[in-house]
Amino acid sequence: MLEALLFAMFAGTAIGCALGVVFHRNPVHCALLLVGVLLNLAGIFILLHAQFVAALQVIVYAGAIMVLFLFVVMLLNVKGETPLLTPGAAKFFGFLFALIVFVEMLWTVLQPGGDAGAPAAQAPLPAEFGSPAALGRVLYTVWLYPFEITSILLLVAVVGAVVLAKRKFI
């Protein structure tokens, strides 16, 4: 009961903040509302016994990535867009395609044999489920090569960001 109540609270706040991200005029407010979405999702992760992922979400996403966003928003000092949304037919088709995507996803989720046919939750999860130790054990054995490739990806991203942000590039 408490879990369902917490889920409803987190989900409602997350959806409200997400709508704010998309429809708020000021990019700084958008970024702060996105932090709200991320924190609420971290709460939902804890409900799902993913404590370590929740901590990563708060530290890496709401901390590091959003600071980068806010830094750039304030560096560029972009004025609020005067027509908030893209004008003309593009707006209409944007909403239409988004609606189609939503209906498709909902149809997939609600389909019998889809989620409804998923096996019942493994009730006796191991006590260490979601802990850093359990994640590390999987990450450094089964997923070792993807992990190493990720480090190369991050290195490339760092070099690319430095090169792109250099003056007189474009």
Partner 1 sequence: MLGAPAVPLLWYQMLAAILFTIGVVGVLVRRSALVIFMSIELMLNAVNLSFVAFSRQYGSMDGHVFVFFVMAVAAAEVAIGLAIIVAIFRNRETASVDDVHLLKG
Give every CB contact of residue 62 below 8 A, 6+ residues apart in sequence.
Answer: 35, 38, 39, 42
Distance between CA atoms of residues 35 and 164, nearest Å:
26
Smallest distance from partner 1 to CB 157, Å = 4
The token pair that represents 163 in the structure block: 């090169």
Length of the chain: 170
Residue 164 interacting with partner 1 (CB under 8 A): yes
Residue 14 interacting with partner 1 (CB under 8 A): yes
Please give the residues from 52 up to 111 whose contact with partner 1 meets the rule CB under 8 A. 52-53, 56-57, 60-61, 64-65, 68-69, 72-73, 75-76, 78, 81, 83-87, 90-91, 93-95, 97-99, 101-102, 105-106, 109-110
Whether 24 contacts 30, CB under 8 Å: yes
Residue 9 interacting with partner 1 (CB under 8 A): no
Distance between CA atoms of residues 151 and 52, nearest Å:
20
Smallest distance from partner 1 to CB 113, Å = 13
Distance between CA atoms of residues 170 and 164, nearest Å:
8
Instruction: Give the count of alpha carbons within 13 A of 25, CB side only.
Output: 6
Which DSSP helix (H) or strand (E) runs through 131?
none
Residue 39 interacting with partner 1 (CB under 8 A): no
Smallest distance from partner 1 to CB 19, Å = 6
Please give the residues from 122 up to 161 whose contact with partner 1 meets the rule CB under 8 A. 122-127, 129-130, 134-135, 137-139, 142-143, 146, 150, 153-154, 156-158, 160-161
Distance between CA atoms of residues 161 and 27, nearest Å:
22
Please give the residues from 110 up to 129 whose contact with partner 1 meets the rule CB under 8 A. 110, 115-116, 118-127, 129
Q: How many residues bind partner 1 (CB under 8 A)?
A: 96
* Residue of 13, 18, 55, 58 that binds partner 1 (CB under 8 A): 18
Residue (7 or 113) nearer to partner 1, CB: 7
